[in-house]
């Protein structure tokens, strides 16, 4: 599907995402007052790149090609944009890696709680006299253990897939070749 929307670079097989800038400064977020090297990318541009990335298969590499209208080449501004672009995606890459680690730590804690509850049920079922309240308590331990175990497996197998996909997208953006045309 993306073949109809994006050109392919015949030299390297990468998919080209074309972006038109009226001025170099339109790359940056207008309300960010940091020095240009550390300024954020314009949020609409970042959203556009994310949408494009969703269209393109993850096994394809990207070329980002900026068309700057009515300007002569300014290598210092090009360098500034490239540095800001990399800073932007490196930051979000670090944040996604932290989320992934946090998810796995949380899943591990849930698994430990599940094992403790199931193990407690196994030990107590032999030693606690059978009464209505003790049976309710023991069944609660068993059910709680399985619920915690399921939540742990759910986080590892389902929720982490989105994080891994986002990490791949961010890595692909960092490895993208950035060029400028006038």
State pLDDT tens for residues 122-131.
Answer: 999 888 888 8
Answer whether residue 77 shows pLDDT above 80.
yes
Res 42: pLDDT? 84
The CA distance from 134 to 86, in Å, is: 60
Domain boundaries, the chain: 2-95+174-181, 98-165
* DSSP state, residue 7: E
Query: Which residues are registered as beta bridge partners of 8?
Result: 15
Query: Could you count the other beta carbons within 10 Å of the beta carbon of residue 128?
Result: 13
pTM exceeding the 0.75 threshold for the entire prediction? yes
Res 70: pLDDT? 73
Whole-number Cα distances in Å, 169 to 53, 123, 147, 156: 7, 47, 32, 19
Res 1: pLDDT? 61
Answer whether residue 87 shows pLDDT above 70.
yes
Whole-number Cα distances in Å, 18 to 7, 49, 113: 9, 10, 50
| Mean pLDDT to the nearest integer, 28-44 | 67
Nearest-10 crossing angle of helices 160-175, 43-55: 110
């Amino acid at each position: 599907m993306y073949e109809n929307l994006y050109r392919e670079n015949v030299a390297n097989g990468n998919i080209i995402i074309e972006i038109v800038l009226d001025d170099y400064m339109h790359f940056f977020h207008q309300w960010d007052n940091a020095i240009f090297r550390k300024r954020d990318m314009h949020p609409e541009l970042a959203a556009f790149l994310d949408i494009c990335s969703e269209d393109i298969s993850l096994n394809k590499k990207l070329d980002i090609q900026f068309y700057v209208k009515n300007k002569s080449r300014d290598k210092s501004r090009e360098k500034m944009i490239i540095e800001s672009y990399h800073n932007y995606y490196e930051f979000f890459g670090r944040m996604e890696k932290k989320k992934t680690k946090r998810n796995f730590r949380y899943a591990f804690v849930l698994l430990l709680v599940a094992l403790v509850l199931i193990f407690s049920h196994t030990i107590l079922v032999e030693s606690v006299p059978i009464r209505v309240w003790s049976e309710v308590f023991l069944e609660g331990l068993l059910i709680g253990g399985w619920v915690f175990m399921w939540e742990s497996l759910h986080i590892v197998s389902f929720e982490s897939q989105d994080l891994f996909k986002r990490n791949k997208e961010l890595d692909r953006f960092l490895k993208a070749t950035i060029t400028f045309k006038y």
